[in-house]
Amino acid sequence: MGTYLNMFRLDDKVAVVTGAASGIGQGIAELFASIGAQVIVADIDLQAALAVAKGIEEQGGKACAMQVDVSDESKVIQAFEQIVAQFGGLDILVNNAAIFPKRPFLEVETEFWDKLQSVNLRGTFLCLREAIKHMKVFGGGSIVNISSVSSMQAVVYHNAAYNASKAGVNALTRTTALEFATDGIRVNAVLPGGVPTAGAKAASSAIEIKGPMLGQGRIPLGGMGEPLDIANAVLFFASPASRYITGQLLAVDGGFLVS
């Protein structure tokens, strides 16, 4: 049993988690650190990232904070070069950074659309590209993109820009999984359902939210998920336990997509 459980360990692995200063990203960073990874808590909010990294270290884990705007190409390039120089490699990337403001479709302006895509889709693309460049040199790695069940099914109203960005993340996941499998690089995606993080609540507070996910009985396992539910699935894809899996989209949604 011990040997089997070791397949989920991340000892001495260098893991970058974007958007890790709060919510799902924080849960992933904390879980990874608890099982041996050196975690880079990457976020645009440096002070919040520093607080998360400090909390991890106080629990005996290894973490450092790094300020990164994933929508800024030069900053992303610089960040990955710094990580590789400092830690001697890169084993895991979790593309979690995202924004999710909601706006009625007929009120979506190009500025709103472009801002959301620049973080959610271009940010994922840039981090994927830079991580893969380095992983090719070091003999492989695992990348996990955080998508959404909204990429597969319209869940709530006023989410067109967000849904489109996450559908793009799914396409990037499958495309890069195919193109870089021979380099030993696996790329998968986790699609969370409803997780009541502070960021999600804030995004929803400015507008009346309605849609099919809010109907009674639409989540067969009952209730919303927690960041740890998502983090557990991400760990599976990041760890050697999933060594023969790539290009997959895993919904962690309490059964919403089959309801």
What is the DSSP code string of 23-63? HHHHHHHHHHHHTT-EEEEEES-HHHHHHHHHHHHHTT-EE
* Cα Rg, the chain, nearest whole Å: 17
Is 162 tagged catalytic? yes
Cα–Cα–Cα angle for 216, 221, 222, rounded to 5 degrees: 45
The C-alpha atoms of residue 37 and residue 12 are separated, in whole angstroms, by: 6
Number of H helices, E strands in the chain: 9, 7
Q: Are 108 and 161 in contact (CB under 8 A)?
A: yes
- Active-site residue among 4, 157, 162, 244? 162
The C-alpha atoms of residue 60 and residue 228 are separated, in whole angstroms, by: 19
The C-alpha atoms of residue 134 and residue 103 are separated, in whole angstroms, by: 38
Please identify every residue annotated as catalytic: 162
